[in-house]
């Protein structure tokens, strides 16, 4: 039963990365490429009917985490308190940037909320990449020092950074050179993902420029992936052990590579949806590969005193997990119905919907 809820949790997080990821990317495109008013409107129209529904996936994932893995929920929400609060404020500013911009037709007012939307989107992409880096790297569970655990085995607390920016330090920070690397990768791929979505959903004058941007950034992404894989062994001496033990897991890196190399052809695609599909494959495959590499761990321990938090030692009671399955089936059906209706109503190009205009 723990495995079932683990798969559900990872699926929800993967859906959030793919769906709200293009919202973040569109915000980054808006920040750096939305110079003309018609281009800004096109970008906002592309995500307007979808962004709030996409955010529901992270809320649902939080609910599943609280229900199925309560110890991990308690540990991570206290240990990552500072960045979580920052992410919350960034989500708020991104939302009100979209909603308040059209309330007053004044250049200063519009510029303020344009910047709020764009900068919040950029920082959210960076912080979610850093968050993934923290999970891959692990944390000092129990705040062990000199072989002695100062707190309970599942407790930790991280400052934003430590003076050395070293991921191998006994007391790490949220930000170090490894987590920053993954944060930069997140910014690059989500910028490409958002560009592909804007191309798919609009006939913006930016589309040809965005195709060239995706093509060029793909070389940057490829280089960053090579670097991250090369240094991963510094963090984890055996990062690919699960893939060797279970060769079928290689399907996830293959999905990622299919998306990566598919994006090199973005300028020649006959249909605009193909670029978005390939960036979605990269995000899904990359996230699934990362989860598979640390399974069954959910939050690795960097010390030898306290064990890592796994799907087995942080899960709720078996009875509760079983009861939750029935409710999950009902919820899943409702989500599928809503998702199908939403994308049927808003299918095709979104240039003329006038989102946010009052």
**pLDDT digit of tens for each residue in the chain (358 aa)?**
889 999 999 999 999 999 999 999 999 999 999 888 888 888 998 998 888 889 889 999 999 999 999 999 999 999 999 889 999 999 999 998 888 887 888 888 889 999 999 999 999 999 999 999 999 999 999 988 888 888 888 899 988 888 888 888 888 899 999 999 999 999 999 999 999 999 999 988 899 999 999 999 999 999 999 999 989 888 888 888 999 999 999 999 999 999 999 999 999 998 999 999 999 999 999 999 999 999 999 999 988 889 999 999 998 888 888 888 888 899 889 988 988 898 888 888 877 777 766 5
First to last CA, the chain: 49
Residue 306 gets which letter from DSSP?
S
Domain boundaries, the chain: 2-141+149-345
Q: Give alpha helix (H) positions in 236-267.
A: 241-245, 251-262
Encoding tokens for residue 242?
């699960």
pLDDT at 37: 85
pLDDT at 264: 94
The three-state secondary structure class of 212 is helix
Contacts for 46 with CB less than 8 Å, ≥ 6 apart: 26, 197, 198, 200, 201, 202, 350
Beta carbons of 167 and 235 less than 8 angstroms apart:
yes
């Amino acid at each position: 039963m723990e495995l079932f809820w683990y798969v559900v949790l990872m699926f929800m997080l993967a859906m959030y990365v793919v769906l709200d990821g293009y919202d973040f990317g569109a915000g980054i495109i808006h920040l750096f490429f939305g110079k003309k008013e018609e281009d800004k409107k096109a970008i906002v129209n592309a995500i307007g009917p979808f962004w709030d529904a996409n955010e529901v996936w992270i809320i649902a994932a939080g609910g599943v985490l609280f229900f199925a893995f309560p110890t991990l929920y308690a540990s991570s929400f206290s240990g990552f308190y500072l960045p979580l609060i920052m992410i919350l404020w960034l989500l708020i500013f991104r939302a009100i940037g979209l909603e308040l911009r059209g309330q007053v037709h004044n250049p200063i007012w519009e510029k303020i909320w344009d910047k709020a939307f764009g900068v919040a989107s950029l920082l959210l992409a960076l912080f979610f990449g850093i968050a993934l880096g923290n999970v891959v790297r692990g944390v000092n569970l129990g705040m062990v020092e000199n072989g002695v655990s100062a707190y309970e085995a599942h407790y930790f607390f991280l400052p934003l950074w430590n003076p050395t920016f070293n991921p191998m330090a006994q007391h790490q920070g949220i930000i170090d050179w490894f987590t920053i690397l993954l944060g930069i990768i997140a910014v690059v791929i989500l910028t490409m993902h958002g560009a592909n979505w804007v191309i798919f959903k609009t006939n913006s004058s930016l589309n040809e420029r965005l195709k060239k941007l995706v093509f060029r950034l793909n070389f940057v992404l490829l280089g960053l992936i090579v670097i991250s894989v090369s240094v991963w062994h510094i963090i984890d001496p055996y990062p690919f052990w699960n893939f060797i033990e279970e060769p079928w897991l290689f399907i996830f890196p293959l999905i990622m590579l299919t998306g990566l190399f598919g994006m090199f052809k973005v300028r020649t695609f006959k249909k605009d949806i193909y670029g978005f599909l390939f960036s979605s494959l990269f995000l899904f495959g990359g996230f699934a590969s990362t989860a598979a590499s640390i399974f069954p761990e959910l939050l690795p321990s960097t010390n030898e005193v306290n064990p890592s938090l796994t799907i087995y030692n942080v899960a709720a009671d078996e009875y509760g997990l079983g009861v939750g399955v029935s409710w999950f089936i009902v919820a899943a059906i409702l989500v599928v119905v809503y998702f199908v209706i939403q994308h049927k109503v808003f299918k095709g190009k979104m240039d003329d919907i006038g989102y946010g205009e009052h």
